[in-house]
Amino acid sequence: MNVGVIGYSGNIFKDPIKSLASLCYDVGRIIAENNWILVNGGRDGIMQLVSKAVKNNGGHVIGFLPWEQEGNGYLDFPIKTGLDLNMRSFVLLKNVDVVVSIGGEIGTAIEILGAYSYKKPILLMKNSGGWTDRITEVLIEGKFLDNRKLVEVKQVSSIDELERILKGIEEVNN
């Protein structure tokens, strides 16, 4: 199963990313332990922290990079898309089975909505800040992002709950 992880880009030694390092480590760890593949945007911030955790736990990472960028040092397969930051996000989203969102500014918001439009289930890490929390204020019936009810958006409160839900999605997909 391909697990997409999205969230803040930026310097990993500064907040808000710094404070999310432990969460990112755990997300990367369970991805590697379950032999899922991490698919992300290949750059800094949350992408870098989760990628590193996946690699340190023996897992695999594919990073979809904007333009001709090289990516952080934790990618098994850095994919140069030749597309700008936003357009490359949609190629990334086509190649995941589920999306996990951690904090995030406008790019993350675009990815949350994009995942929904492609009917990919979205798991929001509760209290991770930014658009991951903000989007919950505008959910229709507490779980949808528009009236077409394409797929469910769900808040997740702990790493154990995240692992349990991901395992459930994997089972359904098989």
Q: Which helix (H) or strand (E) holds 155?
A: strand 153-156
Q: Does 126 bind a second copy (CB under 8 A)?
A: no
104 in Cβ contact with 132 (< 8 Å): yes
Q: Does 110 bind a second copy (CB under 8 A)?
A: yes
Assess 91 for contact with a second copy (CB under 8 A): yes
**Is 114 one of the binding residues for a second copy (CB under 8 A)?**
yes
Residue with tokens 């439009």: 117
Binding of a second copy by 150 (CB under 8 A):
yes
- How far apart, in whole angstroms, are the C-alpha atoms of residue 138 and residue 144? 9
Residue with tokens 């994919």: 79
143 binds a second copy (CB under 8 A): no
Answer yes or no whether residue 70 interacts with a second copy by CB under 8 A. Answer: no
- Residues 55 and 71: their CA atoms lie apart, in Å, by 15
Contact segment (CB under 8 A) with a second copy among 26-34, 44-52, 104-112, 162-170 equals 104-112
d(CA 111, CA 144): 15
Q: Do residues 153 and 6 touch, judged by C-beta distance below 8 A?
A: no
- Does 159 bind a second copy (CB under 8 A)? Our answer is no
Q: Which CB, 62 or 166, lies closer to a second copy?
A: 62
- Contacts to a second copy by CB under 8 A: 37, 62, 68, 77, 79-87, 90-91, 94-95, 105-107, 109-110, 113-114, 116-118, 130-131, 134-135, 137-138, 145-148, 150
